[in-house]
Amino acid sequence: MLYPLALKIRWLLLAVVVGLPGAAAAASVENVRLGQHGERTRIVLDISEAVDFQVFSLADPYRVVVDLPEMTWNADSASFKVRAGLISGLRFGLFKPGNSRLVLDASGPVLVDKAFVLTPGDGLGYRFVIDLVPTDRATFLAGMRPPSDADEA
């Protein structure tokens, strides 16, 4: 019988729109900041909640890839046109259902020195932080995760 199914679908849609219990709200990226501190380039995503992440690198061209849970990107698109230090460009989007991806185009070989989530404090909310430092090609390649077909960025 289709009527009970249609009723369930309506309830789920209403739950998502209104935010009723049982409706999973996606985390969101509210702002993106890039900064240069000596040889270190720092990327900061202001996020609505703590998230799990995976970071890996790809070569030719040099890229650092950050996989995140599916997120809503509320950050001003102009913030993604900013270049700083070791970052020559960045892009983001839904990679596959349940998985968002941030790709940092690097101007040369880099190492991820740190990647972490800061908890709220000093008037700021959650922040995902990644620090990149320059390296040589051999070191970059030695630390690179071998790409799989799902890793193309």
Q: Give the C-alpha distances (Å, rounded to integers) separating 85 from 47, 65, 92, 107.
A: 22, 17, 19, 8
Report angle CA 27, 31, 35 to the nearest 5 degrees.
130
Q: What is the pLDDT along the chain (153 residues), one digit of tens a residue?
A: 444 544 444 444 433 434 444 445 689 999 999 999 999 999 999 999 999 999 999 999 999 999 999 999 888 766 666 678 899 999 998 899 999 999 999 999 999 999 999 999 988 999 999 999 999 999 999 988 765 645 555
Q: Give the C-alpha distances (Å, rounded to integers) separating 79 from 29, 50, 74.
A: 12, 21, 11
